[in-house]
Structure 1
Amino acid sequence: MTNYFRSNVDAMASYIPGEQPPRGTPIIKLNSNENAYPPSPAALEVLRNIDGEWLRRYPEPFGGEFRQAASKVLGVPSDWIIVGNGSDELLSIVIRACTEPGRKVVYPMPTYVLYRTLTEMQAADILEIPYEEDYSLPLKELISADGSVTFIASPNSPSGHVVPTDDLRKLASQLSGVLVIDEAYVDFAEENALDLVQEYENVMIIRTLSKGYSLAGLRLGFGVANPWLLDGLFKVKDSYNIDAIACAVATAAINDQAYKNACIAKIKVSRTQLASDLKQLGFRVWDSQTNFLLAQPPQGNAEYLYQKLKEQKILIRYFKQPGLEDKLRITVGTDEQNHTLVQALNNLLETRKY
């Protein structure tokens, strides 16, 4: 059979997203960290009133309407913002623009595994540095590695922890390459690193509307960085990477901060309650500044629980990789969903005692 692929593509493994059951499937879905609540009513109103002319014409190539809105919300100039088809596209743009064979991409592990997949696509070198057991940043090793691109997810998945801004500042000041701080879950956190883009021209903050704004199906993310850095990234961006509908809906959503903040507040309360309930069942639960929890079952039987919950139409996330094989990542759902999950776990743990 003919092999049509580059050698690095042929050798790499595919990224495996969380399972997405068909719409309408009666299932409790707590595996992909989607927001438990619907999008802003203002965003839905824009969607209901889409003008066919928006579809006939090509969209504005840089997402100008959204850039202006995000500029006002974040307090940064609009020309410091790049818009992408989800934050994943922006990760890809950075790697395409800044790496090649012989140039390193560096990040601590465990973290978002798409970093590895995107790097392998470019046949760039990969250096994965283990987190400390307490998830403190391996700062010395990251500085020594001095990657062409260094990725730090903060808050991090699957651990849920935030990297202190002072650690990120030390890292940025001593790297010669680009430091990408992936803040996909920042809306659920108590601090962020946005100020660093003003301090260091090699720092880029990446955010998404998938999590805090309940728009995972829309596919819109954005990055903030010095215009000098963005100029290089725009060179490898697709011509019309943001569709007109996504731009309009996302603009309405980011302008509705009151609604977003109200949903975030509810999720934080539910997160605290779910963590408490899991601890009562004997789970070890890591502190989280995200909309999910990393939890270690008392019997260490994470894969078993994942499979049994799936049989009961409850989806959570299990990663069969070093350091995570005895843990589960659980999205914070509605209080009703969380209660159903806890009851199911309690029954499964009781059954395994006998």
Structure 2
Amino acid sequence: MTAFFRPNVEEMTGYIPGEQPKPGTPVIKLNTNENPYPPSSQAIAALRSLDSEWLRRYPDPYANEFRQAISEVLGVPANWIIVSNGSDDLLNLVIRACAELGRNVVYPMPTYVLYRTLTQMQPAEPIEIPYGADYRLPIEELVAAQGAVTFIATPNSPSGHVVPIADLRQLATRLSGVLVIDEAYVDFADETVLPLVNEFENVIIARTLSKGYSLAGLRLGFGIANPGLLSGLFKVKDSYNIDAIACLVGAAAMRDQVYKNECAARVKASRGLLAAELKQLGFWVWNSQTNFLLVRPPDGNAEPLCLALKERGILVRYFKQPGLEDKLRITVGTDEQHQILVEALMRLV
């Protein structure tokens, strides 16, 4: 067959998202870290108020209404914000702007495997530094790699751990390239590292509305960094990368912090209850500051257990990669969903 694609595309393995059943399918979906609660009523009201003129015309290329909402909530200048089609789009913008062959991308593993996929697409060389068993940030190894881009997810997926801000500050000080701090799960964590963008010109923080705001289907994210760093990203983004609907709904959701915080508190409470129940069943459960738990079944038989749960209409996530072969990642759902999950596990482990 004729080779239509660049060699790096031919050779790479594409990112495989978690299974997405059709809407209405009777499953308990605990595999892709969606928020179990509905979006803000203010976001829904904004969607229903949409005028057809918003659909006829091109959207604001900078999504300024949404940028202004972020600025009000987080206390950062609007021109320090870039809006993206989900935070995945932002990650891609950074790699497109900064990486190429000879300008590597570095990150600790295990973490979000899309970092690898986006790097290979560029093409650039991914350098993966293993986390130790304690998930302490391997600062010396990351510094030695001196990537054009270094990704650190905190809280991290799939481990759920938070990287101390002191470690990230040390890393930013010693890196010559861009440090991307991926805070996709920050709404469920105890702290943010947002102050670092004021301290370092090479730091950008990535956020999303998919997790804490229950808007995974909207595809809306943003980055925060000094305008000098953002200038290169604006050059490579699509002209109209954010649609008018996402901008309007996202701004309303961002301004409804009371509701977002209430949902996050419910998720964190359920996370603690689920962790306790799994420990009683003999699972090893890692401490988490996210809306999921990384767990090891009593016998380490993670893949068969994942398949057995699927047969019972319960989806959890299994990663067939080094360091995760005996573990499952379980999204925090509702307490009612957890009861069904635990009852199924009582029969299986």
Q: Which residue of 1 aligns with 2:281?
A: 281
The alpha-carbon deviation at position 227 of structure 1 amounts to 0.1
The alpha-carbon deviation at position 191 of structure 1 amounts to 1.1
Q: Which residue of 2 aligns with 1:214?
A: 214
- Measured in 2, the distance between the counterparts of 1:192 and 1:306 equals 32
The AA in structure 2 aligned to 1:82 is I
Runs of 5+ in structure 2 lacking a partner? none
The alpha-carbon deviation at position 307 of structure 1 amounts to 0.1
Q: Determine what percentage of the aligned residue pairs are the same residue.
A: 71
- Measured in 2, the distance between the counterparts of 1:347 and 1:333 equals 20
3-state secondary structure, aligned to 2:238 = coil
- Measured in 2, the distance between the counterparts of 1:146 and 1:198 equals 22
Runs of 5+ in structure 1 lacking a partner? 350-354
- Measured in 2, the distance between the counterparts of 1:130 and 1:191 equals 25
The AA in structure 2 aligned to 1:139 is I
- Measured in 2, the distance between the counterparts of 1:307 and 1:133 equals 26
Q: Which residue of 2 aligns with 1:307?
A: 307
3-state secondary structure, aligned to 1:37 = coil
In the superposition, the TM-score normalised over structure 2's length comes to 1.00
3-state secondary structure, aligned to 1:235 = helix
* Superimposed CA distance per residue, residues 88-109 of structure 1 (whole angstroms, 9 cap, x where no aligned partner): 0000000000011111100000
3-state secondary structure, aligned to 1:127 = strand
- Measured in 2, the distance between the counterparts of 1:120 and 1:324 equals 22
Q: Which residue of 1 aligns with 2:251?
A: 251
3-state secondary structure, aligned to 2:236 = coil
- Measured in 2, the distance between the counterparts of 1:123 and 1:47 equals 39
Q: Which residue of 1 aligns with 2:44?
A: 44
- Measured in 1, the distance between the counterparts of 2:298 and 2:15 equals 29
Q: Which residue of 2 aligns with 1:352?
A: none
The alpha-carbon deviation at position 328 of structure 1 amounts to 0.2
Matching of residue 179 in structure 1 with residue 187 in structure 2: no
- Measured in 1, the distance between the counterparts of 2:40 and 2:326 equals 37
In the superposition, the TM-score normalised over structure 1's length comes to 0.98
- Measured in 2, the distance between the counterparts of 1:254 and 1:67 equals 10
Within 5 A, what are the aligned runs for 1:10-159? 10-159=10-159
- After TM superposition, what 4+ stretches of structure 1 lie above 2 angstroms from structure 2? none
Q: Which residue of 1 aligns with 2:270?
A: 270
* Superimposed CA distance per residue, residues 166-214 of structure 1 (whole angstroms, 9 cap, x where no aligned partner): 0000000000000000000000000111000000000000000000000
* Superimposed CA distance per residue, residues 30-70 of structure 1 (whole angstroms, 9 cap, x where no aligned partner): 00000010000000011111100000000000110000010
The alpha-carbon deviation at position 17 of structure 1 amounts to 0.2
- Measured in 1, the distance between the counterparts of 2:265 and 2:87 equals 23
The AA in structure 2 aligned to 1:289 is Q
